Amino acid sequence: MMQGRKPEITSGEHHIQLFCKEKAEQAMLYSYKHMFSGFAAMLNASQATVLAKNDPRKANADTKGVISVFESEILQLHTTRSWDFMGLTLDTSEGTPLQLTHGDDIIVGVFDSGILPESASFREEPGTTPIPKYWKGKCVSGEQFNPKKACNKKLIGAKYYLTGFERRYGKINKTKNPEYVSARDFLGHGTHTSSTAVGSRAKDANVFGFARGTARGGAPRARLAVYKVCWNRNFDGTCTEEDVLAAFDEALHDGVHVISASFGKVPPLRAFFASSSDIGSFHAMQLGVSVVFSAGNAGPDPSLVGNVNPWSICVAASTMDRSFPTKILLDDGTSFVGEGLIANRITGILARARSYFIGGICDTRNWINISVSGKILVCFSTDGRLSSEDAEFAARRANATALIFVQPLNRPIAVVSIIPVVRIDTIQGTKLHLLSNFTKVQILPSETVFKRSPAPVVSDFSSRGPSSISPDFLKPDISAPGINILAAWPPNIPPSIFPGDGRSVEWNFDSGTSMSCPHVSGVVALLKSAQPHWSPAAIRSALMTTADNTDINGDAIQVEASTKSSDPFDIGAGHINPVKAIDPGLVYDMKTRDYVLFLCNNGYSDEQIQAMVLCPVTTITRCPDQKVVEPDWNINYPSITVSNLKRTTTIRRTVRNVGRAKTAMYFVSTVSPNGVEVVVWPKILIFSPLKEEVTYYVTLKPLKVSRGRYDFGSITWCDGFHQVRSPLVVQVNTTGAVSSTNEVESAGHVF
């Protein structure tokens, strides 16, 4: 690796003549040549500047110039009851389950940390047909990865991309950062996400006896192609942009139908054509390939959502209706209930951390030469903003029998840990804290129960909107299960993050938007199988407009560690409902032209856009002649977001009837955001065999003087069977522009 230099990526045609041949060969990392033209190379600042000045507007007929030159950045990994919870059961009493009738020959490409090919999740389903002839990919041999043994008619492709990682960090050092120089998974993350997306049915899956049942992915009959782009670095998943872009280039050439990518970065976000994920997914969209990204784990603060481009799907994380209640019992019969994975009864004496030193912070540094052997330690998350992992390390160091970890209401979730842990809420924890240090307590074995807790609940860690780079598009798009997801796991990798954990499991719980992303990827594979001609935009629309906005009790979906209800910045259009998405009634479709308008509006030139689009050069892929192009909110997205409403504004949307009945009539209903009048015209949409698409208009009128506050509503079209719901997100911004309500109401229309 060249000191002081980081890889630079260019997404356009390059002029390799700028360097002598020998230096060019030394600098090159990748040449992207299958689906888009570009390269990754180690360049110094002056070389990058020369390339960047090669404006495509000044290029000749033989060279199109350079669209963008940008410094490669590091992306981080975002870390089976869920399918039953979403309505995809294996119950055959009402016919063959949806998961077993769809997905054949749909190929899902998973960009992650690799795969454990021996897992039961990746065995061929009964009746699996031969590999499709259009598949161009292959299984690449490598360390402990023999394609003849590893790959089959289920796992049909496995490749790895290490050039960018090693150029940045040096050759894999197996002493400091052990890894497999192959598609084999060292971290477990890629095996888990692949299993969640398309894992085959596997009986008796469990973690230490908990959550026992038949595990399977969203599309168990779909094919799997693995692209290892993330590598172990200090036991964390690190992915370089040049490796990611190389995977996009080859996966699209190989013939995948869906790409699942559980990685990203937090803001500040870069321009769309200065990001490997955005460039790769833009080309995927043009080829009809849906790309699903995780939203990130930077919540609950607003506007930290990543992967916000409008041509892919961005997924938030939420809970499901499975819980592991664990009872704490006192001698007088008093009991407390938390969450845990406790296999056997535990008896001990209560030990309050606050009784041992000032502040009581359960940090390992505070427990040197202090032992609570035979005792059950009580730690509060509110002591120094303590994490559960910190407290677990401390409890183990202090030789505690078990840990009771106290957290805010609605946050306690069972976790796999190195010592027995029960998480309880602050109200119960405070009562425990008032007991003496000599109180004898028992922790009873945990149960596995369903439908006792409100679900779904939006995860506290899930990254929130609004988008920091394109606030007139709602991101995240949708939510899916991402807490305590049971999926395949390499037996040689401990089930917890704690050093010294020598346990071995074949299945494991993991949490994060990394886990919610493959849930959506699996459902997209089912939709792609059921509706092979739908575009990625139509599939995204079907998911969003049919999403649930209430929990299993019919109440508004809550936010973890809070008493408030969720809003679209937490959960997007709602929680995914695969069964409804198969038959959405209407879809909001988008084609390359729609995204071209968006790019024009965001400062990209005709020449830059022409170099990115795959279709022939026509007016369809050119920016409008007028200087003022349509605002982003007029792009035909399934949600409507106006981040700066100053005056009465009219927005356009077009829907296509994809229902079984070609003649249909839909009626509108609206929920107005606070302080905004919403008028939809026409109020009835009539479809016929000769009129599959209809356009309607939404007029928003601000009724209040306000600045900097978002309010939420919705627009729903109903034909008596389908409910086609679009979130409506508006920020009224009239302070300073007008001085009275009358002036607000009299503001003119903008079309």
Tracing tokens 């003119």 back to the chain, one arrives at 748
**281 in catalytic set:** no
Q: Structure tokens of 721?
A: 């069977």
Q: Per the residue annotation, which of 276, 277, 514, 541 is the catalytic one?
A: 514
Q: Are 718 and 724 within 8 A, CB to CB?
A: yes
CA distance 510 to 500: 19
Question: What residues contact 254, with CB distance under 8 A and at least 6 apart?
Answer: 107, 109, 135, 136, 137, 157, 225
CA distance 522 to 398: 44
One-character DSSP codes across 246-263: HHHHHHHHHT-SEEEE-E
Q: Per the residue annotation, which of 14, 189, 192, 519 is the catalytic one?
A: 189
Pairing status of strand 313-318 against strand 440-443: unpaired
CA distance 552 to 564: 17
Number of H helices, E strands in the chain: 17, 39
Q: Are 569 and 466 within 8 A, CB to CB?
A: yes
Pairing status of strand 649-657 against strand 586-587: antiparallel
SS3 558: strand
Q: Vertex 611, ends 606 and 612: CA angle to 5°?
A: 100
Q: Per the residue annotation, which of 11, 14, 78, 112 is the catalytic one?
A: 112
One-character DSSP codes across 459-479: -SSS---S-SS-TTS-SS-EE
SS3 448: coil
**722 in catalytic set:** no
SS3 264: strand
**189 in catalytic set:** yes
- The amino acid that residue 339 corresponds to is E
Pairing status of strand 335-340 against strand 421-425: antiparallel
User: Which helix (H) or strand (E) is 26 found in, with range?
Assistant: helix 21-27
Provide the CB-side half-sphere exposure for 570 (13 A, CA). Answer: 22
Q: CA dist 642 to 466, 564, 634, 652, Å?
A: 11, 23, 10, 12
CA distance 361 to 448: 31
- Output 265-269 pairs: Cβ under 8 A, ≥24 positions apart: 265/73, 265/74, 265/75, 265/76, 265/296, 265/306, 266/296, 266/298, 266/304, 266/306, 266/463, 267/303, 267/304, 267/306, 267/468, 267/469, 268/468, 269/306, 269/308, 269/468, 269/469
CA distance 636 to 125: 39
Question: What residues contact 650, with CB distance under 8 A and at least 6 apart?
Answer: 697, 698, 699, 700, 749, 750, 751
Tracing tokens 């499709």 back to the chain, one arrives at 132
Peptide bond into 300 cis (omega under 30): yes
Pairing status of strand 258-261 against strand 290-294: parallel
Looking at residue 87, the DSSP 8-state letter turns out to be T
Shortest CA distance to 11 belongs to which of 604, 674, 694, 567?
A: 604
CA distance 656 to 641: 20
One-character DSSP codes across 637-677: -SSEEEEEE-S-EEEEEEEEE-SS-SSEEEEEEEEPPTTEE
Helical axes 513-530 vs 189-198, angle rounded to 10°: 30
Shortest CA distance to 452 belongs to which of 320, 317, 318?
A: 320
Mind telling me the catalytic residues?
112, 189, 514
